[in-house]
Structure 1
């Protein structure tokens, strides 16, 4: 078997045969790995004959003169169609506003850049396609706050960690509303939240917000039903289910008991649904309108949930890849028959989606009404579970046979497998980028901004065959310019800012592309150093948001006291010599941070607890940077020690389960939090005056 032919096939399928690791060393993907990844991409490569057949198939697709369903272009820039049409060919463009534009290709078969921004329908020589014309950049923080040099600030919060009376054991949208109001009153322009993607209703053991079933729909557990249906309906449902004592017990717990709390919320939602469908409820019309507007995508998701529920009751596999063949196709006759027989259950899951959607709308309205120019910033996970709803309903566009992760590096010598599937680059093109566009619209719908986790995935992702070691993967490249144009267009249409989490290894050229599109990168105080020499204030860039920490890192208080090192040592994730070296290095980092913070004469003047002084100084420091937006984690505003998630652990650390002290509407009245928000707000004003 020829490795040369195999490598040609891999390259044409978008795989990087040769790549550079995080240490700058050249690497080459083994032939056996290439074969397995290619199979996951739908290109058999187990023999010379299969490789030749796959090459021929790819070549035929790439050389065809048949137009894909959608092409992208930048406003004011011509689009070459020489691969498809002769020069001077007339074309007719049907614009979104109903008007018509008659043009012709120029002498080089370039479509003139005269077509307005939007999704326009183009007809040329008997062929038709959609042309997505993107503005030059995304809606920006400057646009939101109406300032050419924005120096805004906001908070970030893990939604589940919030508290309010009657929340049932974890944060919900009512607690989010309460926090948004008080944060807006204090001058915050934005409130970034953890992902609200739909999880697995029939598997309450799975609750990592970054491993969802679908990024098209929402986690209905976060709904605050009383806000939509009224307190009377809620009290009636609680009485009917006998849940009052259990809910009160769950609310009092310092940690979320996800399986128990989720099951209780599920029972409550079921009782609410039963009350809702009986009689003439005034919101029936709104519910029906919601289902109609959400269309096939919602119907498929609800059918998926109903099938999983039925199979869970029998102890059968929930993974659609192990379902009977007739249920693996969302459009099969067997599925239609199932839907007819289980209309009530499907209606229940649609009801849950309606509730959480209306609740999230209320939270964004509350944020904007409180004076926030941005409001909620949603969080978009890098992928969805290959056995989940989104992968099932969009099988040609998601790679359910591959998982996403990261190659080995200094911090993770065996690499990482994240247990989520990614989009298929070929499938996206074949289907006019449908799955990508609908995902963007779903996540922009009820927010003023969108944080894209691992934004590097717009250009390339490390993909690993299911069941293989993370080291046995390869980089898969995506049509990054097309994806960025679509992201820019949707940002413009939704008037929402875009934040790209770009921590880690970033391929050459990507940051420049993001900057050109006004997509803010991310700079974390704990990382902005070179061997304990922290970056001075004015060296921080003006094209990235600034923050103290993230959900995967220790809080500032925890970092200062080495709580992350304590956890890693306790769980055996670091050996004794490594722990000693880590603690020595942390002490040097502490000295380095204090040194850079001491450059500001306003810091360390009060005779207060050392940790309080460091936190105050660090927050003032970030406020003085040139970052257009500073996001302060609520944990750092409150001075909390423990972090939300400890990477590399599952059940040995209480990931995604910690709750904040106190009710959300009173959290910012905490003296430490109030003082730090005032420090941050003043520092942002000073930075704005300095930089005008």
Structure 2
């Protein structure tokens, strides 16, 4: 049935009102506030498509009515909720549903406790006390069902536990997660602002890179900025997995998996076994590197495909090298700790490689199929290779964080978590219906992309994620937080609601789907607490006002961008910035500050045909915005009369250093005077997104070894370091 047919099928008589009620029951918005004012009313066709992606039958009037009746009784059908997420120390009741009049016994098994748990909290089993709450029974599927209310003990330790219920001789279980009421920032960061450098790691090359920046370059960048500038952290783009074959998707925000890393960032020479290669094998590694060595000084667009083909050939040689007993044991322990998730990811990589771009046969689309089981045996050696790549990636990620902390950084490396994954990637293959199909995550129109956006990333299915006990989400967070001093969560508003765009529709035809933010934010705080990391949420864009207050109450920092922070149409005074925020002048989706001051954000979008307003009007607004910024800086003595571009850039960063923000970031492109954008939202092949190497104001390459020879960088870092 076509979408038009679906729409007409649900549009008879009173069906639209039932359709809206069904949508509301599953957290699908039937209208939402648009950027700049006004309300967008969601079409029935969109509601049908989104409900279908959620696994809710809604293509006919009869299906809508049946699904609505089922939704009204859904929680009464299960003895226990699929997952219970609570805040430590706060009261929480759990509704347990049994045959009316039947007795039930409920308890929790503590599957693990945090090290700081008190002795009495470490008892493995805790019974739940039933509360005297009367709820009338309900007839569900032809049988009377009663509800018993139990209180979750307030003293449970943080962690992942199991809730049990025994009734009528049958035992049921569900996941119980105890999360921190608040993720504490720590006295040092509460009292003393930290500052650091933001870098797109792939663009930051050295003379020993293989054509693009890697984890060894990250370690060097951290050491240099800590020792020579006093920086507290280095923030990088997502280092998540891409395709194991070429062509490789350039965008770090469209990974094939958010749980695993991209081995293109591995420095081959830093793998211990490389030092023990035979002369013949060492020659193979050198020959593999030869075609890409000169790319380090090439000012053109980065060539990921060439880099990966070279590195992959070299890594295959190193993989065959024998490992000492302790190294082999460490590798085996890593593989065991990552469990089935790593095996599935490595299997997907091996199958993708074997298929070489051909369509996937139906029998290989299910990881649990007999065909995939046979493939796992046939491709065992390649699967081991892809598991090993994750181990060496993890080792070098760890080395970068250790180097940063030993150099004196307070946080070290700040990693980045993308909002979603590639629709044909490993996570989509491995996670099944936990990710919704037939829709992509995007954004409605806003001031920077007036046509809206569809990022083509399948979102979490909130119903199925809860049924899975949030395990896929937890496992992803644990990997992202490994060896991280901080984690930036891209589009953190997606933990509250995501904008779903049905396949075949324009971004303007999408709508929002709500998530259980208490669960998602709570689990994020729990895993960050366990990792000892700070969490920053990128809370830009269209959002409901209470969201920022909620995140702050949980200890999650927000994001403040100078150009977006306005009070009465003028730049927000630094003393009025939020304390729990990560403040920067710009973002990676905007030109560097030098380019922005010149109005490049308008010129570029005009050239690419992305504007729906008069370019001259937007250019005038950009000039007025720049002038307002200069006035704000001048009033505080941060620039003089007729300041130069460099003086304005430094003044903007000193302005942020005077703010209440807990963290302040300096983009490396601003430090060296770069003017080119790394990414232009809303484009694909029209602009070399995520391929621009680090360069100065003239477009000349700037390598890691030469950073502190750059006078502009030294001047900006000195201004930032001395501003407090």
* Structure-1-length-normalised TM-score: 0.92
- Residue 305 (str. 1) matches residue 340 (str. 2): no
| Aligned equivalent of 1:637 | 671
Aligned to 1:689: none
Report the equivalent of 2:60: 47
1:7 aligns to what SS in structure 2?
Answer: helix
Superposition deviation, residue 585 in structure 1 = 1.6
Query: What is residue 320 of structure 1 aligned with on the other side?
Result: none
**Structure 2 equivalent of residue 137 of structure 1:** 182
Structure 1 stretch 77-86 or stretch 169-178: which is displaced more? 77-86
In the alignment, which of 104, 122, 138 is matched to residue 129 of structure 2? 104
Match of 2:212 in 1: 170
102-111 vs 212-221, which deviates more?
102-111
Say whether residues 1:22 and 2:35 are aligned partners. yes
1:678 aligns with 2:721: no
**1:667 maps onto 2:707 in alignment:** yes
Q: Secondary structure at the match of 1:121?
A: strand
Is the contact between residue 44 and residue 54 of structure 1 (CA under 8 Å) also seen in structure 2? yes
Indicate whether 1:578 and 2:614 are aligned: yes
* 1:598-677 correspondence to structure 2 within 5 Å: 598-604=634-640, 610-660=644-694, 661-677=701-717
Q: Hey, what's the Cα distance between the residues in 1 that align with 2:429 and 2:184?
A: 33
CA drift of 1:651 comes to: 2.1
User: CA separation of 1:410/1:679 partners in 2, compared to 1, >3 Å: closer, same or farther?
Assistant: closer
Deviates more, 1:502-511 or 1:117-126: 117-126
Is the partner of 1:631 in helix, strand or coil? strand
Q: Deviations over 1:75-123 (max 9, x none)?
A: 1111112454899966354362552344523434322312222223333
Q: Deviations over 1:356-408 (max 9, x none)?
A: 11111111111111111211111111111121111111112111321001123
Aligned partners of 1:403 and 1:657: how far apart in 2?
Answer: 24
User: Is 1:452–2:500 an aligned residue pair?
Assistant: no
> 1:386, 1:401 within 8 Å by CA — same for their partners in 2?
no
Q: Could you report, residue by residue, the CA deviation over 1:483-539 in whole angstroms, capped at 9, with x for unpaired residues? A: 111111111111110101011101242111101011111111122236862222212
Q: Report what 2:475 is aligned to.
A: 438
Alignment of 1:177-216 (within 5 A): 177-185=219-227, 186-216=229-259
The answer for unaligned runs of 5 or more in structure 1 is 318-322, 687-692
- Give the secondary-structure state (helix, strand or coil) at the position aligned to 2:75: helix
The corresponding residue for 2:337 is 293
- Match in the other structure for 2:572: 535
5 Å-filtered alignment, 1:440-589, equals: 440-529=477-566, 533-574=570-611, 578-589=614-625
Instruction: Using CA pairs under 8 Å that are at least 6 residues apart, name the structure with larger relative contact order, 1 or 2.
Output: 1
The corresponding residue for 1:117 is: 158
Q: For 2:605 and 2:162, how far apart are their aligned partners in 1?
A: 56
Note the C-alpha offset of 1:665. 4.5
Matches within 5 A, 1:110-509: 110-125=151-166, 126-140=171-185, 142-143=186-187, 146-185=188-227, 186-229=229-272, 232=275, 239-240=283-284, 242-254=287-299, 255-274=301-320, 276=321, 283-312=327-356, 315-317=357-359, 323-509=360-546
State how far apart, in whole Å, the 2-side matches of 1:183 and 1:198 are.
27
> Which segment drifts farther, 332-341 or 232-241?
232-241
- Secondary structure of the structure 2 residue equivalent to 1:626: coil
**Distance verdict in 2 for CA 1:119–1:11, change over 3 Å:** same
How far did residue 291 of structure 1 move? Answer: 1.6
Tell me, what secondary structure is at the counterpart of 1:396?
A: helix
Give how far 1:54 is off.
2.7
Cα distance in 1 between the residues matched to 2:309 and 2:35: 43
Judge conservation of contact 1:87–1:107 (CA < 8 Å) in 2: no
Larger mean CA deviation between 419-428 and 631-640 belongs to 631-640
For the 8 Å contact 1:82–1:110, the answer to whether it is kept is no
Distance in 2 of aligned mates of 1:243 and 1:293? 32
Asked if 2 retains the 8 angstrom alpha-carbon contact of 1:204 and 1:262, the reply is no
Note closer, same or farther for the CA distance 1:384–1:43 as it changes in structure 2 (3 Å cut). Answer: same
Question: Aligned partners of 1:580, 1:49: CA distance in 2, in Å?
Answer: 53
- Which residue in the other structure is 1:591 paired with? 627
| Alignment-derived partner of residue 107 in structure 2 | 91
Q: Deviation of residue 180 (structure 1)? A: 0.7
CA distance in structure 2 between the aligned counterparts of 1:597 and 1:221, rounded to whole angstroms? 42
Matched, 1:3 2:45: no
Distance in structure 1 (CA, Å) of the matches to 2:346 and 2:544: 38
Greater shift, 211-220 or 76-85, is seen at 76-85
Deviation track 1:107-140 (CA, whole Å, cap 9, x = no partner) reads 3432231222222333344443332111221142
Distance change in 2, residues 1:19/1:272 (3 Å): same
Q: Let me know the Cα RMSD of the aligned residues.
A: 2.4
Q: Conserved in 1, the CA contact under 8 Å of 2:536 and 2:559? A: yes
User: Structure 2 vs 1, CA of residues 373 and 214 (structure 1 numbering), >3 Å: closer, same or farther?
Assistant: same
3-state SS, counterpart of residue 208 of structure 1? coil
Say which SS state the counterpart of residue 487 (structure 2) adopts.
strand
| Aligned counterparts of 1:272 and 1:88: Cα–Cα separation in 2 | 58
CA distance in 1, matches of 2:376, 2:29: 43
TM superposition score normalised by structure 2: 0.88
Q: Report how many residues are paired.
A: 669
Q: Is the 8 A contact 2:444 2:499 kept in 1?
A: yes
